[in-house]
Amino acid sequence: MRLFTGCFAHESSGFSPIPTSIENFREAMLHRPSRSEIVEGRYNSIECALSAKGEERGHEVVESVGAVAMPSGPMVKADYESVRNEIVSDLKKAMPVDAIAVFLHGAQLGQGYDDCEGDLLAALRAVAGPDVPIGVEIDLHGNVTQAMVDNATLVIACKEYPHSDFLERADELLDVLEAAVAGRVRPVASWRRLPMMGIFHTTRQPMRGMVDRISAMEKEPGVLSVSIAHGFPWHDTPHTGAAVIVVTDNDRALGDALAARIGAELFAMREDIAAPQTSLDEAFAEAAAAADGLVIIADTADNAGGGAASDSTFFLHEMIRRGTDRAAIGMIWDPVAVDLAFTAGVGATLAMRIGGKTSPLSGVPVDAEVTVTALNTKLSQVAFGYRRVVGRAAALRTGGIDIVLIAHREQVHSPDCFTEMGIDLSAKRLLVVKSAQHFHARYSPLASKIIYAVAPGATSVDFTTFDYHRLPRPIWPLDAEAAFVA
């Protein structure tokens, strides 16, 4: 079949202090075939696997824009519209096509756009007409909207957090599209939004069981796909919240019933699936009381992977105040400090001001006498199953604390962040990582205890700290009375 593919994925946080222009995409990944612009930044994005998979399956693939950027604030209006218009124009030139497969994030914002996915999909639908099946793969952190469901034929979210299953979901998407084009199925989507928001790990029960159950449901007759979108809580829009999407073979009644039932089940377990919250003080107390071995505290509120600056100093200040030793913290985004460390050179000791530089959520900068212990122009780590370049990094030591600073904002995924900077984690008692969850798979084998802490930050799961005005109320956990009627 003739398959049109594209990828335009940005997790936009309404509370991120980091602006987003087209430049952010150049730093990660930006393919604009119609402009012959291909910029391979630090990403090797698996989200844009749809075109490669389409070709593997022997289809005639017309590849449009591939644009991915690090989570940050809403995209500048003109830049968002430029990329959106380019995808639409690429489709116009490609018509007629048999199917459209796109990867969108699900939580993308533009200045003046609460729902970029719905906006783009409506424009694609207008070009494609009502009969061309449009399949959308999204990140489970998307906020699903009516416009998305109305304009796409099917929406499939990844099932895992950490997101280890993008490629499998892409295959499923293409399977359904092929079957639809061949006339074997008629996909229809049912969905329900749930009045709940939060961060839910699929590695733990009871969410693990829930994910396994919906996977099993997909084997049932008439059920093509079942997705749970966890939602992205840091949007101040009427679309915020978790959602269930069921795609059936022309059986809307079945889909609606399943979506309602799964929705009720998920809503009922909301307290049990929400990410643990431990305050900074509690986290240190728990760490101190822990048995021997390495305690890892996740600074979940300062996660670059959710649009935070990754430069907050709440933990570092406390570690210095306590005279903590055999400790390490990373990765703190501070490009100017990285430059100064490179200039000073390995072995130099100097006074430096670190972190706390982006916004009030960053806290107060740390002033410390530091020794530069390592410099790396191409630090890398394993993220989403492939080796991703982090870039220029400096390791500093102050007292008994090793600090990893980075020039390009990124969350901690794998232990390379420290080991490639000469920091021996086996000699550490305390490790603070700036990540919400993506650190978990590769760090848990090293840890005797993992604590998910919530200090101030742009990705705090203490939603009371944000100034929301437009959420669909009531919504759990802000409103205890929120209820889901199946």
Partner 1 sequence: MKFYCAFIAHETSRFSPIPINLDSYRRSALYIPSTGEGEHLLDEVMGEDSWCGALRSMGHEVVIGPIAIAMPSGPTPRADYELLKRELVQTLRAAMPVDGVALLLHGAQVAQDVDDCEGDMLAAIRAVLGPTVPVGVVFDLHGNVSAAMTANADVLLACLEYPHIDFDARAIQMAGLVERAARREIAPVTARRRVPMLGTYYTTASPMRELVDWAKSHEGRDRILAVSVTHGFAWADVADCGASVVVCSDADPDGALALADRIAERYFALREPIRSARIGADEAVAMALAHDGAPVIIADTTDNPGGGAAGDSTFLLRALLDAKVENAALGMLWDPVAADFAIRAGVGATIPLRIGGKIGPASGVPIDVVATVLACRTDATQNAQGTISPLGPSALIQVDGVRIVLNSLRDQVFDPACFEAFGLDPRACRIVVVKGQQHFHATFAPFLSKVIYATPPGTVNMDYRTMTFERIPTPMYPINEPPFEAFGREWRA
- The rounded distance, in Å, linking the Cα atoms of 337 and 312 is 14
User: Whose CA is closest to 169, among 125, 228, 209, 88?
Assistant: 228
> How many residues form the binding site for partner 1 (CB under 8 A)?
29
Q: Which is nearer to partner 1, 76 or 389 (CB)?
A: 76
Based on the shown chain and the rule CB under 8 A, indicate whether residue 391 belongs to the binding site for partner 1. no
Q: Which two tokens stand for residue 28?
A: 């990660």
SS3 (DSSP) at 127: helix
Residues 373-398: b if buried by 16+ CB within 10 A, e if exposed: bbbbeebbbebbeeebebbbbbbbbb
Count of residues making up the chain: 486
Q: Which is nearer to partner 1, 69 or 412 (CB)?
A: 69
Shortest approach of partner 1 to residue 145 CB, angstroms?
26
Shortest approach of partner 1 to residue 344 CB, angstroms?
4
Shortest approach of partner 1 to residue 21 CB, angstroms?
4
Secondary structure of 241-269 in HEC code, one letter for each residue: CEEEEEEEECCHHHHHHHHHHHHHHHHHC
Q: Which two tokens stand for residue 275?
A: 């990410």
Q: Which two tokens stand for residue 245?
A: 């999407």
Question: Binding marks (x or -) toward partner 1, 62..101, rule CB under 8 A?
Answer: --------------x-x-----------------------
Based on the shown chain and the rule CB under 8 A, indicate whether residue 359 belongs to the binding site for partner 1. yes
Q: What are residue 127's phi and psi, to 5 degrees?
A: -80, -45
Q: Which two tokens stand for residue 416?
A: 């390379």
Residues 337-356 that bind partner 1 (CB under 8 A): 340, 343-345, 348, 350-353, 356
Shortest approach of partner 1 to residue 353 CB, angstroms?
5
Q: Which is nearer to partner 1, 299 or 334 (CB)?
A: 334
Question: Binding marks (x or -) toward partner 1, 157..196, rule CB under 8 A?
Answer: ----------------------------------------
Token pair 């075939």 is at which residue?
A: 33
Q: Which of 3, 7, 18, 156 binds partner 1 (CB under 8 A)?
A: 18
Token pair 């848990």 is at which residue?
A: 444
Q: Which of 360, 385, 422, 474 binds partner 1 (CB under 8 A)?
A: 360
Q: Which is nearer to partner 1, 15 or 443 (CB)?
A: 15
- The rounded distance, in Å, linking the Cα atoms of 57 and 60 is 9
Based on the shown chain and the rule CB under 8 A, indicate whether residue 406 belongs to the binding site for partner 1. no
- The rounded distance, in Å, linking the Cα atoms of 386 and 182 is 34
Q: Which two tokens stand for residue 358?
A: 């982006």
- The rounded distance, in Å, linking the Cα atoms of 308 and 233 is 13
Based on the shown chain and the rule CB under 8 A, indicate whether residue 319 belongs to the binding site for partner 1. no
Q: Which is nearer to partner 1, 274 or 368 (CB)?
A: 368
What is each CA distance from 107 to 1, 147, 152, 264, 395, in whole angstroms?
30, 13, 16, 23, 34
- The rounded distance, in Å, linking the Cα atoms of 152 and 114 is 18
Based on the shown chain and the rule CB under 8 A, indicate whether residue 335 belongs to the binding site for partner 1. yes
Q: Which is nearer to partner 1, 237 or 358 (CB)?
A: 358
Residues 23-42 that bind partner 1 (CB under 8 A): 23-24
CB 327 within 8 A of CB 430: yes
Q: Which is nearer to partner 1, 456 or 472 (CB)?
A: 456
Shortest approach of partner 1 to residue 73 CB, angstroms?
9
Based on the shown chain and the rule CB under 8 A, indicate whether residue 20 belongs to the binding site for partner 1. yes
Quote the distance between the C-alpha of residue 70 and its chain's center: 9
Based on the shown chain and the rule CB under 8 A, indicate whether residue 277 belongs to the binding site for partner 1. no
Q: Which of 336, 427, 483, 486 binds partner 1 (CB under 8 A)?
A: 336
Q: Which is nearer to partner 1, 222 or 360 (CB)?
A: 360
Binding site for partner 1 (CB under 8 A): 17-21, 23-24, 76, 78, 335-336, 340, 343-345, 348, 350-353, 356-360, 362, 364-365, 367
